Amino acid sequence: MLSILDRSRDAPVASPVDRELLFGTYTKAELLKREVYKLLISLDRRGLVYAEPSSTAVGAIDVTLTPEFLASELASTPVFETERQNAAQLRALVPRLSVLTLETFLNRVYVARGVRAWAL
């Protein structure tokens, strides 16, 4: 997905294959949404993250890593190195990522690139 976002920074995705792959990332995320919510609740109960309903967006959850998690060995484990690199690349491709609402994120990543399936 990151390579598709990189290739289509300023224009909609031209390739039907890329558009289908981008659409696939959205649909897979929708299918896993419930599992992610359960994981966030579990991590919140264990004190690794703060997860609370968003005060600005209905149905959204604000998530913050706790200082205890950031200082733990888990955060610096090499297992997460690829994900840290992917996160850094995503931050570079989607400006102001940390302050975007879900709707704005979807618009910038999907709608602006020609994938509009959920806007029906």
DSSP 15-65: -HHHHHHHHHHHHHHHHHHHHHHHHHHHHHHTTSEEEEE-SSSTT-EEEEE
Polymer length in residues for the chain: 120
Arithmetic mean of pLDDT over the chain = 85
**Which pLDDT band holds residue 55 (cuts at 50, 70, 90)?**
confident
**Which pLDDT band holds residue 117 (cuts at 50, 70, 90)?**
low
pLDDT tens, 79-106? Answer: 888 988 999 999 999 988 888 887 888 8
Percentage, residues of the chain above pLDDT 90: 18
Percentage, residues of the chain above pLDDT 70: 96
Burial class (CB in 10 A: 0-12, 13-18, 19+), 5: buried
| Helix runs in 46-109, H state only | 67-71, 81-93, 102-109
pLDDT tens, 10-24? Answer: 888 889 999 999 999
Instruction: Report whether pLDDT(120) > 50.
Output: no
